[in-house]
Amino acid sequence: MSDPADQRLSSYDFQLPEERIAQRPVEPRHAARLLVVNPPGEGPARHARHLNVWDLQQELQPGDLLVVNDTRVLRARLEARRPSGGAVELLVLEPWQGEGQEAGQWLCLAKPAKKLQPDDWIELVAADQPPLPVQVRGRDPATGGRIVQFPAECGDAAALEPLLVQYGAIPLPPYIHEHDASDNERYQTRYAARPGAVAAPTAGLHLSDELLAAIRGRGVDLATTTLHVGLGTFRPVETEDLSQLQLHSEWVEVSPDLVAAVAACRARGGRVIAIGTTSVRSLEAVAQLHGGELKPHTGPVNLVIQPGYRFAVVQGLLTNFHLPKSSLLLLVSALIGRERLLALYTEAIERQYRFFSYGDAMWIAPQAVLSSARPTGSG
């Protein structure tokens, strides 16, 4: 029976001491702590097991399939100055698709936005680089962002990336106050391949080359999806009545190879394990477009996953600890239940786990998922 509180955003709040927000990652990547969720009914929710991410290999079984998100984070944070000399910061989000679109136009968030008006020129500035003039071409009412004209050949992320490498920096989330040159490598997964994200799929940051090799050596397959983490990740959920919740659409690719890998995993009795909520959203959103069946798809998707959702593909999840009242908290609650998740978060805070992007991880094995949320036929 559903709990009416599951439909209220305020039910997903919790108090997090600021010192629990990780400012730097641990080294090596697989040394982060791992909270292991017990199956429902096996004692109180807070009686979790406490391991390290390196131990994940022992939690997996030969024949399992890990689905990882191979997006690469762009160096999307740009410093610029106005003709008056005033400083401006841009966060490059995505190619502009709106009215009057021309080649090389991108939607950017700007600080301070009110200082940038259509037709204004600004200069991108970076150490050891000549200033690069770009023009503000318009405003986007939906995001409060600005449409910025980059060189016409910079029409997609792969074409823009060389310019961003010259002038940009990795856009760490606003709750991380310490920045270091190592972030350019450390805030990427080891399998990041396809440029386009403005935030990392952070559960994947825990997978070191050594751990990936150990997992493969155990007879576990890996397959990739692509979801470019965009503006929706940063936008707070503001809808108290979650039955009315809508989220920003996201660009994903589920390839024929991934569809085949999932089918082969099922055929051999393996389990489909998502690394991070972005992999969950890729698989589930595309399956929902096709009546619950995973098929190849490239393009935008928009799916809200919250308690009451029955998963079509994903059976287990490695994930980080998420912000209060966030869509990611709703997604994880759909797998194990809201009250159980919040009890585990209380346990994690008391045991001094590290939260958010550079923090520790949680492992939800298939047997820990609510029976009402498991894919049909997966037990």
Boundary of a domain, candidates 169, 196, 216:
169
pLDDT tens digits, residue range 340-371? 999 999 999 999 999 999 999 999 999 999 99
297: containing domain = 4-73+184-368
Q: In terms of domains, do 306 and 199 share one?
A: yes
Residue 175 forms part of a structural domain? no
Question: pLDDT per residue over 209-231, tens digit each?
Answer: 999 999 999 999 999 999 998 87
pLDDT at residue 178 in the model: 87
- In this structure, the answer to whether residues 248 and 334 fall within a common structural domain is yes
Q: What is the pLDDT of residue 233?
A: 67
Residues 63 and 82 in one domain: no
Residue 379 lies in a domain: no
Report yes or no on 337 lying in a domain. Answer: yes
CATH number of the domain that 154 lies in?
A: 2.40.10.240
Q: Within a domain: residue 61? A: yes
pLDDT in tens, 322-345: 999 999 999 999 999 999 999 999
Number of domains in the chain: 2
Question: Which whole-number Å values give the CA distances from 112 to 40, 126, 131, 165, 230, in the listed order?
Answer: 48, 19, 20, 23, 20
Residues 8 and 123 in one domain: no
Cβ-Cβ contacts under 8 Å for 179 (sequence gap 6 or more)? 169, 172
The CATH code of the domain that includes 225 is: 3.40.1780.10
Phi, psi for residue 355 in degrees, rounded to 5: -105, 160
Last-in-domain residue among 115, 138, 169: 169
pTM listed for this prediction: 0.95
